[in-house]
Amino acid sequence: PSNADDNGTSPVIRKKLMGFVGFANLPNQVHRKSVRKGFQFTAMVVGESGLGKSTLINTLFNTTLYPPKETLPPSAERPSTVAIESISADIEESGVRLRLTVVDTPGFGDFVNNDESWKPIVENIESRFDSYLEQENRVNRQKIVDNRIHACLYFIQPTGHSLKPIDVECMRQLHTKVNLIPIIAKADTLTDEEVAEFKARILADIAYHNIHIFQAPTYENEDDEAIAEAEEIASKIPFAVVGSDREVATPDGRKVRGRAYPWGVVEVDNEDHCDFVKLRQMLVRTYMEELREYTNDVLYENWRTEKLLGMGVIQDSSVFKEVNPAIRIQEERIMHEAKLAKMEAEMKMVFQQKVQEKEAKLKQSEEELYARHREMKEALEKQRLDLEDKKRRIENGRPLTPEKISQTGRKKGFLRT
């Protein structure tokens, strides 16, 4: 039987093979290549400080990505501001390398006024999209580094009430840009019934506010086991978790990761005690690739479309055909030239104005100079006339005043006293 393929051009014929060709090995090729290249995964943790974010990350990846706080000198304590920091680590399991990056938002929600404390977080997510888009637009796209956030663990305080307004607002800001995974922190502080009720209330809040959280996808041709797994994971959301990077001894003598209380031990890896195992299964074992794919195909793609539309780039091919690039460039050139001409005219005008001002100033000082010159000339003329008059009188032998006689006598050496 033959059927037309998606674009309806060439028919596809289904054939049975007569012998072994070898393309059954394709998945192995992909496997080998992926293992060689390694994987990149970036998770973000959001929530108030002290909710156990660093502890949980250490627990999740079984590594001390964050040094225990007690070992830090007081000056090195992480600041309680909405400052974003990221830590990367190369971890390896059975020969598979993972470059894990955790982006932390220490102290989120700690202020009296937390109105816009989600802002730097959203900006951080978008700047990562920006950087990816910039790399995609480069001439050489060989080595694209994917720093986008693939999952955002949102830590909810174990209040037992419902979501706080700041949680609702923050999730609403984030859900279109990241895979949101809500988590009830420090679940060991609530009883089982309280956890169940709290979960129901959180889910109701999330639904009421139309917040989209990451859902484990199910595919049509998947086996029952995979579907059951997805359903089980989905039934645990929001994950009530307990974190601990220390081993404690249980009453029956086992060494487990957990938290010891006078009445017993809460085991991190025990599914009866908390949802940590399911969270890890979702984040690492089963859906890490789905999280990466959803980030790339849906979240990033939507953001990119919006951004490019905002910049005036029309992506729809039917519209694009009408906008001939050559005409567009021509239009842009004309606009640019017009702008240049306008700038030149403005500069000319300013120049002329400046010259006129300077000329006026020069003229004024010239006139002032002339006036001063005239004044001096007149004064000198007057002095000359006076002297001439004096000379004439002396020559005419007019009697001199006694003072003048003494001056004249002294000068000639007649008078000696």
Nearer to ligand GDP, 187 or 291 (CB): 187
Q: Which of 128, 175, 177, 186 binds ligand GDP (CB under 6 A)?
A: 186
Which residue has the CB atom at the shortest distance from ligand GDP? 52
52 lies in the binding site for ligand GDP (CB under 6 A): yes
Query: Stretches 140-148, 186-194, 218-226, 393-401: which one binds ligand GDP (CB under 6 A)?
Result: 186-194
Q: And the tokens for 99? A: 């470059």
Nearer Cβ to ligand GDP (239/303): 239
Closest CA to 242 of 206, 266, 263, 278: 266
158 binds ligand GDP (CB under 6 A): no
Q: By CB under 6 A, is residue 157 in contact with ligand GDP?
A: no
Distance from C-alpha of 107 to C-alpha of 203, rounded to nearest angstrom: 25
Residue 109 binding ligand GDP, by CB under 6 A: no
Judged by CB under 6 A, the residue of 189, 270, 286, 296 near ligand GDP is 189
Regarding 242 and contact with ligand GDP (CB under 6 A), the answer is: yes
Q: Measuring CA to CA, which residue among 176, 180, 158, 147 is closest to residue 42?
A: 147
Smallest distance, ligand GDP to C-beta of residue 244, A: 6
**Min CB(274)–ligand GDP separation in Å:** 8
- Min separation Cβ 53 and ligand GDP, Å: 3
What x/- string results for residues 267 through 306 when contact with ligand GDP is judged by CB under 6 A? ----------------------------------------
Counting contacts by CB under 6 A, is residue 160 touching ligand GDP?
A: no
Q: Give yes or no for residue 53 binding ligand GDP (CB under 6 A).
A: yes
Q: Does 69 bind ligand GDP (CB under 6 A)?
A: yes
Cα separation, 170 vs 324, whole angstroms: 43
Q: Which residues of the chain form contacts with ligand GDP (CB under 6 A)?
A: 49-55, 69, 186, 188-189, 242-243, 259
